[in-house]
Amino acid sequence: MPHIQRVWQANFQVYGADKVWRQLQREGIQVARCTVERLMRLQGLRGVRRGKVVRTTFGDTAAPCPLDRVKRQFKADRPNQLWVSDFTYVSTWAGFVYVAFVIDVFARRIVGWRVSRSMRT
């Protein structure tokens, strides 16, 4: 459909299917939004995404895998018998922060945690 290509080109090749569809509606061209999306995909037309891509993890293939000290048996008979840890990242207004926490397996409760701007500390 030449109208899709024209609208996409006229808007500096940044419009996605939603905005192209809305512009076509304004121009009086009746077409389904899913059709615009499909035709744009077939023509290789893509909108520009806002924001920057943030890399949250850095894999190190040379680093050895950590030992599995509990042999995947996450069960405990009493409190403080087995603690496990993990970390994740959280998006905030100021950017990403990393949260590391320790969990008591028996109680299934977080017993300690720490927040950092870097995953290396």
- 116 and 100 in contact (C-beta within 8 Å)? yes
| Phi and psi angles of residue 9, each rounded to the nearest 5 degrees, phi first | -65, -40
| Phi and psi angles of residue 14, each rounded to the nearest 5 degrees, phi first | -110, -15
Q: What is the pLDDT of residues 14-52, one digit of tens each?
A: 999 999 999 999 999 999 999 999 999 999 999 998 877
Q: What is the pLDDT of residues 77-86, one digit of tens each?
A: 999 999 999 9
Please tell me the least confidently modeled range out of 29-38, 46-55, 67-76, 102-111.
46-55
